[in-house]
A and B are shown apart, each in its own frame.
Chain A
C-alpha cells in the first residue's frame, strides 16, 4: 500500500496566521510572523492557559485575515505537546466549530494538514483549519525540570518554541496547492537519550522522505526547499548522512530545518535549535508560506518530525520512537 496520497487540484491554502513568543521574535525570521508577543504569559495565571490563549488568538487571527465567520469553517484540527492536549482542547472552548484533537508530538502539524487535505479531497468538507502550538514553559515543566531549577542543558538539547501557526485549507483554487503527502511510519533505531531528540527523529525523517521520493518518482532536487520539522543542527547532519547511504542526495536542493531557521542558534543559546509542535507550524505559516507567495520557492516539501517520548516510557528505560510526515506544496 502506498504511503503517499495525491490530492490532484482540490486542496489549496487560503490563508495562514502565526504568532510567536518574545525569544522567537528576536530570531532571524521574526519579520515573517503576523504577531509577536511581549509577555509569554499573556496575562494568564498559568503557562498552560497562556498556551491555550495563544492557540485561540492564532485561530481568531486566521479567521480575521480570511474574513470568515466561525460558521463558515467545517472543522478545526489541532494539537499541542501537553498531556491530553490540554491547551488545544481549552482553546477550542472559545469557538463554535467542530474540533478534532491530534497528537504526533512535534509532527502534529503534518498530521493535521494531511487529515484536513484528505477530508477536503473526499468532498466532505470545504474549509478546514489546521493549527498546532507549543510553549517553552509548559513543555519544560512537563518533560524536564522546573523553570527555576539550576541545571545545565546538554549541547544536544533543543529549545521548545513558544509559538502557534494556523493554516486554512479549502477547495477553491488559490496560490499554494497541497500536491501530495506521505504519511510516516513509526521508526525506532534505538536512541534512548531524551536530550537527543534530533538523533531519535532523523531516521523517521529519512524513511518518510525516501518513501515520498520513491512513490512520486522524484529526485530530491525536484524541490526548491526541503524543510524538516525540528531535527536541529545535529539531527539534520545525521539525516543527510544516513540519506546518503540510501542514495538520496541533498546537494542540489536547499535542505534545512525549521528548528534551525527560527533561532540564531549560537547567539540565542538554544542548543541544537528550536523544537515543539509550534516550531514547524509557526515557521511554515510565517516564513515558508510567505517565501512561496514571494515566488522564492515553487516546490516545497515540509517534513514535520516528532519524537514520541512519554514521561513514563523514558523512566521505564524505553527507546524513543520517531515519526515524520511529508507534505508537498506547489506554488501555482
Chain B
C-alpha cells in the first residue's frame, strides 16, 4: 500500500494557486440575485396579467417559465457561460437544477433516446432528488410524532 507523502501534500497546499473566494462570492451574489430578481419581476407581471389566478398558481407559472428559459439557454450554449461566471449563484436557484437535467440530456442523446438520453438525464440531478425525497420523509416522520399529524 502506498503511503501518502505528507511533506509533498503540504508543499502542494502552499504552492498551488487557490480559488479567489472574494471575487467568486461577489459574482455568485450578483448572478444569483439577478436570477431571483427576474423571478420576482415575472411574479409581478403575471399577477397583473392573470388576475383570476391565486398566488400559489402564479408562483408555479413563474417557476415553469424560469425552467423553460434555462433549458433554452442551455441548449444554445449560453447557460454554461453564465454558470462559469456565477458559480453557486447560478446553481442554487431552480435554474441550476434545470441546467443539470438538460445538459446531460443533450450530451447523451447521441447514444439513443432510451439508453442514452433517458438513462443519463438525471446523472447530475439524481442525487438532489434522492436527498430531497429522503429529507422530506424524515421531516414528515418528525412532524407525525412530535406535533401530531391529526
Q: Tell me the A residues contacting B by CB distance below 8 Å.
A: 45-46, 141, 145-156, 188-191, 196, 198-199, 203, 234, 237-238, 241-242, 319, 321
Contact = CB atoms under 8 A, between A and B. Distances in A.
A154 B19 contact: yes
A190 B11 contact: no
A46 to B, nearest CB: 5
Contacts of B104: 146, 149
Interface in B50-103: 74-75, 77, 79-84, 86-87, 90-91, 96, 99-100, 102-103
A233 B133 CA distance: 44
Interface size class of B (residues with CB under 8 A): 35 or more
Given A145-B103, A151-B84, 5 more contacts: A146-B108, A148-B79, A150-B80, A155-B19, A199-B16
A284 to B, nearest CB: 26
Contact of B12 (A45, A152, A238): A238
B106 A190 contact: no
26 contacts: A141-B107, A147-B103, A148-B75, A148-B99, A148-B106, A149-B80, A149-B103, A149-B124, A150-B74, A150-B82, A151-B91, A152-B24, A152-B84, A152-B87, A156-B17, A190-B2, A190-B6, A190-B9, A191-B12, A199-B12, A203-B5, A203-B8, A234-B15, A238-B16, A241-B11, A319-B4
A148 B80 contact: yes
A143 to B, nearest CB: 13
Contacts of A148: 74-75, 77, 79-80, 99, 102-103, 106-107
B55 to A, nearest CB: 30
A312 B70 CA distance: 31
Given A147-B103, A148-B99, A189 B15 contact: no
